[in-house]
Structure 1
Amino acid sequence: MAATSQQIHPPSVVSASALWAGMGLFGLVLGLFLLAFQDTVFGGVTWLVEASVSGPNTLSTKSADMVRDGIQTWGWAGLVTAIVCLPIAFGTVLSAITRLLRPVLSNGEDELLPWDRHGRTFFLAFVAVLIFAVVAHWTLRTYLEVEWLESEDGLSEWWSVFAYMAGALAIGAAAWSLKNTQHSPVRYFYLTLAVGLFLGGMEEISWGQRIVGWSTPEALSEINVQNETTLHNFTFGNNVMFELFFWGSVIGLAGGFWRLTANSRGLSDRMRLVLPSAMMAPALLLIMVWRAGDIWQTANFPRLVMDHFNSGPRGDEVPESALGLCILIYAIACLRQSRFLARRASPAASTTPPNLVTAEESA
């Protein structure tokens, strides 16, 4: 009698209680340690500062106060992490979330996208993003006064325009590719994102004002800090964009970490179509460091180190350039995965044996 083969699917990521428990316990231990041993941690930070360069290099009173506030901020952040993660790992909260999200997050029998591969190609791409982030940070802050590089119509500005428009085109094409699949919610998400990217690109060129040369309407010029036909340069718009950059990078990092850790445990096609790749982490970290608001200022240790070595943020183009790279990486990945699913949903592909579908087809 012929043996019957049974396809084994990995468990859902929402059932990974050990991951939530680990994050919660780490946050609890870190928070309690920082709050209970503030003076010890502060002494260690002071020693590192004094040892970083030769000669006397003590912290000023203002810097010392900022470091102490940062230690407290990170301590309370650890406790908040524990409060959120530990109930998910233990108790009825995990069961409720599992029942609620299983249709979206679980890996069902009809999932087609292959698991992510984190080999040489992924590593090289990660290093390339890291190099881009370092070069962008050093170049755009060092040559802040070079007009062809960082002015309103400079190279960095047009890089952002290109990223927005190319991203909108790629995401729109990805939405079109999903029209014959079962992923209508993702398709609508892509369409919304494509429209948002297009609007962002038009905002970058002031809706063509600097190209055509029309004058700014009087009503806009009174509330626009750059006297342009834009919305993001309103007095309140800058603050909104500041927060969007910071929290967007935080969500992107969390999504990339989720995808990386849950890759082998099981992710639905829908989540693979939405979650970003972890290779974007260096650029997202750079955005987060540059756009951390006042509430996180004293806990922004990378920023404090940059400022100490006179390499802190200057200007506004670095996070926008990093965001442009992230947009392109995300859009291209979405398009590749959507086209893969479109090929599998076509009538010709329906007659192809499943074992002939390899990971290379998703490239």
Structure 2
Amino acid sequence: MSSLAYRLERQPATTAAARNRRAVRLWLYAVALVVFALVLVGGATRLTESGLSITEWKPIHGVVPPLSAAEWQEEFELYKRIPQYEQMNRGMSLDGFKTIYWWEWSHRLLARGVGFVFALPLAFFWLTGRLEPFLKPRLLGLLCLGGLQGAVGWWMVASGLSERTEVSQYRLATHLTIACVIFAATLWVARGLTPRDAAARPAPAASRRLSVAIVVMALCQIYLGGLVAGLRAGLIYNTWPLIDGAIVPSGLFSMEPLWRNFFENVLTVQFMHRCGAYLLLGATLVHALALWRMVPATRHAGGAGLLFLVVLAQAAIGITTLLMVVPLDLALMHQAGGLIVLAATVVHARSLWGSYPAVSAAA
């Protein structure tokens, strides 16, 4: 037998099941990319104070924006009835209203788009038998999370339509975190469908557990960032490393009962967000050093080192954003950085845990 024929015989055949896995994996990466864009547009909507410009929830009819001067005026009149207009934007022109309206409309359109990008291919893969049994409950769970997120989005907007001039920070942080859970879970499943490398050295069990803890820490840090955004806490205490002139400032627990400080005290919320960043940075450093000691010069160790550098870069962006009092471009870069950090933690953790079993053994 010639060497070429021998090599061809040794190569694994590309089965239909393997091709299906690849198609599903690429589809899920596309979904994650759209969710990434959605969260960024949501961040811009929040930073431009545009989130309350559409005062009604129209899941179907709302796809079509105002098409005439009369329709634009009707939407503007609805906006004039809420406290944000009365207290913050009284006297706004119709052109000014259109600017904030387009941000919120784009955010809602992207949210609907994610639903179609996920649901239609899911139906196709399911009905044509291209989904392995173990994938079905995972993908249905993601679909349910998406539906829940739509309801939470309106629940968030509704909090700013009657008595407040902005949405509740509790609801904003919840809305942001659920979006990031969907993003992370989508990447986790997609990464798990990567073909297994039989020659790869297994990661130590302790490092696998820590990698998952780091994913959870990244999600918690995003939740804290949502509270910071909801309270506009980044617009004050714009010094670093000191906060209000101290490493641990006074006034952290000035509210009663105690738990309110962690959600409503602007100083405490910003302090907790800073501490979360330090904790995440420290955890990724310890994780990288441990892997370099236990499995040096491996893909696992290299991935942990890269993860630490990504978190370090995000910390630098966060500090710069704070010191410059949250300009729009840096604030959006910081939000994008948070998603990139989350993606890096998920991809790294999933690689340590390994791909899903081979097609024939999947369950």
What's the TM-score once normalised by structure 1's chain length?
Answer: 0.32
